[in-house]
Structure 1
Amino acid sequence: MLPLTRRLAFIALFSSLLTNVYAQRQRWTEKQANEWYSRQPYLVGANYVPATAINQLEMWQADTFDPKRIDMELGWAEQIGMNTMRVFLHDLAYKQDPEGFKRRLDQFLSICARHGIRPILVIFDSVWDPFPAVGKQRDPRPGIHNSGWIQSPGAIALQDPTEYPRLERYVKDVIGAFARDERILAWDLWNEPDNTNDGSYGASEPKNKVELVVKLLPQVFQWARSANPSQPLTSGVWKGDYSSDDKLDPMQRIQLEQSDIITFHNYDNEVEFERRIKWLQRYNRPIICTEYMARSNGSTFQKILPIAKRYNVGAINWGLVMGKTQTHLPWDSWQHPYVGREPAVWFHEVFRTDGTPYSAEEVNLIRQITGKAQTAERRER
């Protein structure tokens, strides 16, 4: 039999391991979530991909990773007071080159930090092209919104359970590598997980896509929590009625019950935006809108941003700089391409490719909301 002191040490070690495993798998309490949010500035930012990238792979692959362009564009964001960005990663960029991918992510985080920006990093995404492939990415299709954006995981991996261990390694390794990194604001584990892309790639989607993701998403939360990140985890609700618990569909229930902080998308007018904030207040957790601002759809900075600030809801619009994603074009460009013509009003984006604001009025409002305008005034005195 082991000596008493060694047995006690073993018991203490085993208890510590059990405590750690238990702690790793717990959702933050409301108190933890709200204490975290109280330490943050008012969060304003954009969904970000550099103008030189058509999608996540072109952003992150070694041959097309563009730190100089990223540094310049995030400088423009800093000038108007933005302090966060929502940035999409990709499982195939990691699979192709795990260590190189993490080095590039570390470099990106250093660029963000120089500009006072702490990003939300998106792990998986169910929107647009379901057949991603590494290597050279295709050129934009003329006149079409987001014509080259790709899903992660793609349809083939999603339908193949033998691929899930690879996805698990990706989640655990990436989050684990940066689990204590203060440069990261949060992890968004799956963007619009039940989006079936009916207006674009719907015919190519797996018939049971939603069923597959409903089964996989709880595992993704578990994988992420096993890395014990210091940053909160989330997955944002984006459609339907979530005004009461009895109206939640299975995906919404997973997202809202597993998330440490509550996130949502809304591209509608100010009335609908405010209504959805009120729906989500019942969870007594921080709320961040991680996608909004579609001008011709009634979602504008002027209408939405003051409401978000009043409710202390973080606001991350779609798009920073016009570029290869072509998301300054509206969704209906899939049915009616804007070939050789510009829309009467840009759909998304804050800056033109050369850094000129699309709208001086919008940029001035963002500066006022973020306090950047007041800072500039104090410097001038």
Structure 2
Amino acid sequence: MFKWLPKLLVAAALAGASLAQPALAATGERWSQEEANAWYAKQPWLVGSNYIPANAINQLEMWQAETFDPKRIDLELGWAQDMGMNTMRVFLHDMAWHQDPKGFKRRLETFLQISAKHGIKPMLVLFDSCWDPDPKLGPQRPPIPGVHNSGWVQGPGTAALDDPKQHARLEAYVKDIVGTYAKDDRVLAWDVWNEPDNEGGGSGFYQPRESKHKFDRVAELLPQVFAWARTQKPTQPLTSGLWHNPDWNKLEGLNRVERAQVELSDVISFHTYAWPEDFAQRVQELQVYGRPLLCTEYLARGAGSTIDGVLPVAKKLNVGMYNWGFVDGKTQTRFPWDSWERPYTQKPPTLWFHDLLHGDGKPYRAREIEIIRALSRAPKNEVPAL
């Protein structure tokens, strides 16, 4: 199996070898390679999804008091536990915290209790640069028929990103949330900013409302977010995932945001929605940094990124994995990205793009669930006969 994998790639993954090391962060508080690899050695092989309950269209609908639904979350995380998942990547939102800090943390505590009940340790995401740049509190708009992720919102939005006076609020949010759970074993890790230099999404739909200075604002803020989180001395690692650029193993070829992601992350995370061979190539590029690797987004069936193809390779290489989408619901991520240009209102695609389960818990493809379960039960680096 996997005869096309370079021998060096497999050997480096198994040994946790370091081929090079980037410059350390100026704070001096970033975990050493040894500390990061020691932490990872204590973890099971990490496998889960990017999680939002089926009845929430975005982060605000998931976390606001009026729509927070612990019963639904409990049901869905029970399905995750049954298929062998042990982690989830979960997006928070600064505005939901700012609206009601104590209430927000009560709901987060409830979520962590439910997760722990099901043996799931979430990675919590603090900020996100994808999709709608103008988030608003209160009732969220309904999904656009036939369109992929039509209600997801950025955080911070353009207004907060462009207003230096609001950055103190962002700092307070990071320090409060990370500080509250800095020593909590129920939290696996902190993803401080999802795709920070993303220009939004929606095939240009949101571009007119994006900050004209977004890249520069994010490049200034991202190192600060890492620093704010580190003041709380978390026992969990910090990360921010690389997601574009054709070659990640040369720091001089990365932009300012990407360099910060590599140089400030305790563990290296990345996104790839491509074929298994491309996934393996990305892993090889990132192994030069000598740190644990987590693929925090994958699974785009129509683009060649599948459970069947990618997940066994990741298990062999000891890369933690989070597919995009768990239960089909209001995010509508079963529709492909091109639905922004051609909504699937007449005939839904036969092939789901993301997501694993129907809203009632029935698998989209039972074989995928069997693979996840078998891989999660096998020892680290061991791929059983599938």
TM-score by length of 2: 0.89
Aligned equivalents of 2:331, 2:295: Cα separation in 1? 21
Aligned equivalents of 2:244, 2:112: Cα separation in 1? 31
The aligned counterpart of 1:210 is 215
CA pair 107-311 structure 1, distance change in 2 beyond 3 A: same
The aligned counterpart of 1:269 is 275
**CA offsets, 1:41-97, max 9 Å, x none?**
000000000001000000000000000000000000000100000000000000000
| C-alpha contact (below 8 Å) 1:196/1:205 kept by paired residues | yes
Higher relative contact order (CA 8 A, sep 6+): 2
| C-alpha contact (below 8 Å) 1:80/1:372 kept by paired residues | no
Rg comparison, structure with higher value: 1
Displacement of 1:341:
2.2
Displacement of 1:197:
2.4
User: Is 1:136 matched with 2:110?
Assistant: no
The aligned counterpart of 1:322 is 328
Aligned equivalents of 1:104, 1:135: Cα separation in 2? 16
CA pair 251-282 structure 1, distance change in 2 beyond 3 A: same
2:191 to 188, 193, 210: 188
Runs of at least 4 residues off by over 6 Å: none
Unaligned runs of 5+ in 1: 1-21, 374-381
User: Is 1:356 matched with 2:357?
Assistant: no
User: Is 1:102 matched with 2:102?
Assistant: no
The letter of the residue matching 1:135 is G
Displacement of 1:25:
5.8
The aligned counterpart of 1:4 is none
The letter of the residue matching 1:168 is E
- Tell me the matched-pair count: 352
1:225 to 212, 218, 230: 230
Unaligned runs of 5+ in 2: 1-24, 380-386
Percent identity, aligned pairs only, is: 57
Aligned equivalents of 1:265, 1:23: Cα separation in 2? 26
1:45 to 43, 48, 62: 48
2:73 to 45, 70, 74: 70
Within 5 Å, which residues of 2 pair with 1:1-381? Answer: 26-197=29-200, 199=203, 200-240=205-245, 241-371=247-377
| C-alpha contact (below 8 Å) 1:237/1:265 kept by paired residues | yes
| C-alpha contact (below 8 Å) 2:249/2:288 kept by paired residues | no
Q: Which stretch shifts more, 238-247 or 160-169? A: 238-247
Aligned equivalents of 1:324, 1:341: Cα separation in 2? 18
Aligned equivalents of 2:252, 2:215: Cα separation in 1? 20
Displacement of 1:175:
0.4
The letter of the residue matching 2:47 is V
More helix by share: 1
Aligned equivalents of 1:311, 1:69: Cα separation in 2? 34
Aligned equivalents of 2:31, 2:152: Cα separation in 1? 32
Aligned equivalents of 2:34, 2:194: Cα separation in 1? 25
TM-score by length of 1: 0.91
* Partner-residue secondary structure (3-state), 1:123: strand
